[in-house]
Amino acid sequence: MIHTNDRRYICDACGKKFLRADALNNHKRIHADERPYPCNICEKYFRQKGDRDKHVRTQHANAHIEPN
């Protein structure tokens, strides 16, 4: 298998190139100010699930979360 650095997914807004379509889609949220991942404890919203999860771990480590 030959690995190439073919960045075929290009952002229409800024021209940044990506190897994977999902990475491009995550990047596009920057331009649209899309933040689909809310913190269930405070009023913050995040572009990526991992960012929200890290926020909850670091900012709300001792918070009691009520089940939905």
Domain ranges of the chain: 1-34, 35-68
Higher pLDDT, 59 or 63: 59
| Structure tokens given for 48 | 């990526």
Q: What is the pLDDT of residues 18-55, one digit of tens each?
A: 999 999 999 999 999 999 999 999 999 999 999 999 99
Spatial distance between the Cα atoms of 61 and 42, rounded to a whole number of angstroms? 13
For the entire predicted model, the pTM comes to 0.69
Would you list the DSSP string of 9-51? EE-TTT--EESSHHHHHHHHHHHHT---EE-SSSS-EESSHHH
Q: What is the pLDDT of residue 5?
A: 78
| Structure tokens given for 5 | 């650095």
Give the CATH number of domain 1-34: 3.30.160
